Amino acid sequence: MAQCLKRGRVYRRCGCKDGNTGKQLGSWCPRLAADTAHGRWTYAVDLAREDGKRRTEAP
């Protein structure tokens, strides 16, 4: 059985909202690239279940 090397991810996102729709920009916020102090780092880990399917757990 082949193993997946990518078992999770670390990413940064924020709570800024789009002025037109009011939806959160998340990881698409343009300030994240410009300001290193803007947003929060978070992670998600992919876990294998007993039936072999994957599920993602986030903090």
CA distance between the termini of the chain:
29
pLDDT of residue 2: 53
Give this prediction's pTM: 0.57
Q: How far is CA 58 from CA 10, 11, 30, 46, in A?
A: 10, 11, 23, 9
pLDDT of residue 1: 44
Query: pLDDT tens for residues 2-49?
Result: 555 567 889 999 999 999 999 999 999 999 999 999 999 998 887 777
